[in-house]
Chain A
Amino acid sequence: MRDGIKIIMFCGLAAALAFFAGCSAKYQYGDAGDTPMYSTGFGPGELQQIADRMTASLLTFPPIVEVTEQRRPVVVVERVKNKTTQHIDTESITDSIRTRLIRSGKFRFLDKSRDGQTIDEIRRQQELGLTRQDQAAQFGTHEAAEYMLTSSLSEIEQRKAEVWQRRKMVYYKFTMNLMNVRTGILEWADEKEIVKLKDAPRIGP
């Protein structure tokens, strides 16, 4: 009889230990290339899918392949027009696309967001008297952008309530265009559609 009580106590202790070990907070590094999905909001997984699609599409579009075989055109990126109801750091989408295109060795980019700092640096080189004037950067020497990348992100949300479940669907569409600045012609365009679904019990969060 005593042995039996001991076994029960041991099993209970083991179960309690395992339960609390499983419930305790854990901190560890995750894989940035494999982010989990916790909501229907726009997340890093969607950013990666969009950047992957847009880069692959642009690099393999025949007229663009023809142009980039001969030279590396200069491109400027415009801010993404965010038509969703969410606050999204859309600059990180275009940053990812720009980084991949630069690393492909096919395009060169101008960074308009650094214009203020560039002007300050050129003024510093020219006016403070610290820099050798034969090496100082001059105004009016930047290359002009040949192409402009414009993009927009839109969202459609639908909900459905059933007897036991609440369903939610969020549809995202990212559209990107490459416009020839001199002619105004759209040389390339593509879009990426993403659908995120949520099935939740009727009662609960």
Chain B
Amino acid sequence: MKRIQYPAALVALLAICFGCRSTATSGIEGSSTVMLDADGGTQYSEYVVVNNPRVARGLQIVDLDQQFVGDILRAQVTLASKYSRTRNYKYRFSWFDETGVELDAGARHWLPLLIHGYETRTLQGVAPNPSARQFKINIRAR
């Protein structure tokens, strides 16, 4: 009888797992803020948060850079693949003003990112309007 019980239990477990199957949508996050001094100088504050170690094992945020083109903030993020094979990810830029309020909240889209083995790749984003002082990039597995 035990011979029948174990496969039956396995089938039940598989069916339950298949029914409840979901993929992790967390990833890694990088942020950079421009702080303008009263004397016209600029200071930058940057951080990287790993919400999904699996994504971080394959992809590294090497650099977060930003510059003003006219009065529009342009962000550049340098990524490096730590895998030998081509991997697919998605990324999204978010923009914030000097008070930390998100600009065009909810209007930003996830864009595809295909990165080849051990490749270093730069991504660029442009703020939706001149009031942006901070950007955030989210990267997750597809």
Contact = CB atoms under 8 A, between A and B. Distances in A.
Interface of A: 1, 4, 7-8, 11-12, 14-16, 18-19, 21-22, 31, 33-34, 45, 48-49, 52, 55-56, 59-60, 62, 65-66, 68-69, 100, 103-105
B69 interface: yes
Contact of A11 (B2, B8, B104, B106): B8
B72 A18 contact: no
B15 A52 contact: no
Given A15-B11, A49-B111, A56 B125 contact: yes
A103 B110 CA distance: 20
A24 B139 CA distance: 32
A14 B17 CA distance: 11
B124 A8 contact: no
A4 B72 contact: no
Interface string B102-142: 00101111111000000000001110111000000000000
Given A4-B4, A12-B8, A60-B126, A18 B108 contact: no
Contacts of B18: 18-19, 22
B8 A33 contact: no
B16 A18 contact: yes
Nearest to B4: A8
B87 interface: no
Contact of A18 (B8, B19, B129): B19
Given A11-B12, A19-B19, A100-B128, A60 B111 contact: no
B98 interface: no
A150 B136 CA distance: 32
Interface in B85-109: 90, 92, 104, 106-109
B104 to A, nearest CB: 7
